[in-house]
Structure 1
């Protein structure tokens, strides 16, 4: 049958050996990634003004108090911090002269700081207000952090800056902490049946399958040399596979699943 002959010709091409070689290299790279041992702490942040704004204080007619003291604005910042390496990090790695701490803008004061969630209670992740004149900082401490262990920290403060900063020095982390950036809440959208169908039709998997079938049975583009066999096929497959990888990478959650909260959506 004609389609069987085409399939046999397709799988008998020399480019298949090349793809196997590329796959072997990719497997070697992945094996290196899985086997490596790093000491690394990463964090993402999220902030919003609950009352007031970055440029203006509350109107004079509106008075907001916290523990009996008037405040110009109320800002909430979230900091998600976790062990993004493979090595266990113990609490005694924190340098006493430069403790691990979260810091807000110098124009504000921390009103409260709390741990909303931890990966495991046994990590004993804690926060305490700074005991000196630095009212815009709070100390963080923990017993140990295995890979992907961490915590979600909430800071209520009066600064115009919504971005919290992670400060301090840990032994074994000469380059400091890795700032992954701002976590953006996904916008809730109501999808119609047509929209959901479009998501399926134009999904990377469906597009890759369509490209495979077109490359195998469709007409050969005139811009390609006539004696080049079906070299068009691996190019199409590679392009759609690369698109799928880029899509999956961009849609990933940047922090461990164990630290996910409904409030972050």
Structure 2
């Protein structure tokens, strides 16, 4: 079985492996400018269809239909510093709820460090908009914002434009990375077992050789995709997990 490893195709395979890892090295070392946010919402109090019309909910001195708590975490998920001065003036960084609804209060629960000068403020003219500003954010720096509001949506967006950054990345907090990794892990195990079977097979016929080649390629592709997927998960910085 080991005799066929000396054949000419093994050099081509090694060359192919070199190309794959060269591409991977380029991917790892490139500059990444991106901002990511995640959110979760839950209703604190509110009326339902069965509630009598004369029931009134007073929250912080205001009469409201409901109170929803939304926590949004915003951070620099790239490897290049994001400068606050690059926020486009005509399209400022902000969190918006539905028009006609109101942000009752907003608080920064956690931030990477005070030097970032991370600031939030409810727009005086538009109570459904929360302004977001900062001086700069180095890699993995950001803040956790808690918003109490009257909207009943379960999906909220961070809006605005920052020079050099494409549309912001977003994912819900309930997304499980283990579910997305499972297919790659399964293929990885199958590829390893296939290589073991091919190497230990006594014959060196064409089918055996092809099985070995395919399993090696499967192992390489799975490993690289697994690493890429790990990078794309954009894990929330430990400092901002509350």
Contact persistence 1:73–1:159 (CA under 8 A): yes
Is structure 2 residue 2 aligned with structure 1 residue 22? no
Give the Cα–Cα distance (whole angstroms) in 2 for the partners of residues 215 and 165 of structure 1. Answer: 51
Q: Tell me the secondary structure at the aligned position of residue 99 of structure 1.
A: coil
Residues paired across the two proteins, number: 234
Alignment CA distance shift 1:77-1:18 (3 Å): farther
Q: Which residue of 2 aligns with 1:82?
A: 75
Could you tell me how far 1:241 is from its partner in structure 2? 5.3
Instruction: Give the root-mean-square deviation of aligned CA atoms.
Output: 3.5
Q: Which residue of 1 aligns with 2:209?
A: 230
Q: Which residue of 1 aligns with 2:235?
A: 255
Normalising by the residue count of structure 1, what TM-score does the alignment of the two structures yield? 0.71
Could you tell me how far 1:261 is from its partner in structure 2? 1.7
Q: Tell me the secondary structure at the aligned position of residue 214 of structure 1.
A: helix
Give the Cα–Cα distance (whole angstroms) in 1 for the partners of residues 49 and 116 of structure 2. Answer: 39
Contact persistence 2:32–2:79 (CA under 8 A): yes
Normalising by the residue count of structure 2, what TM-score does the alignment of the two structures yield? 0.77
Instruction: Output aligned runs, 1:82-161, within 5 Å.
Output: 82-132=75-125, 134-161=126-153
Q: Which residue of 2 aligns with 1:214?
A: 197
Q: Tell me the secondary structure at the aligned position of residue 231 of structure 1.
A: helix
Could you tell me how far 1:109 is from its partner in structure 2? 1.0
Could you tell me how far 1:157 is from its partner in structure 2? 1.1
Give the Cα–Cα distance (whole angstroms) in 2 for the partners of residues 122 and 87 of structure 1. Answer: 17
Alignment CA distance shift 1:229-1:103 (3 Å): same
Worse overlay, 230-239 or 136-145: 230-239
Q: Tell me the secondary structure at the aligned position of residue 238 of structure 1.
A: helix
Give the Cα–Cα distance (whole angstroms) in 2 for the partners of residues 88 and 110 of structure 1. Answer: 30
Could you tell me how far 1:41 is from its partner in structure 2? 2.1
Structure 2: where are the runs of 5+ without partners?
177-181
Post-superposition CA distance 1:97-137 (Å, at most 9, x none): 432111112242112222222233322212111122x1111
Alignment CA distance shift 1:252-1:117 (3 Å): farther
Give the Cα–Cα distance (whole angstroms) in 2 for the partners of residues 76 and 131 of structure 1. Answer: 20
Contact persistence 1:119–1:258 (CA under 8 A): no
Could you tell me how far 1:184 is from its partner in structure 2? 1.7
Alignment CA distance shift 1:124-1:219 (3 Å): farther
Equivalent of 2:168 in 173, 178, 189: 178
Q: Which residue of 2 aligns with 1:194?
A: none
Structure 1: where are the runs of 5+ without partners?
1-5, 187-198
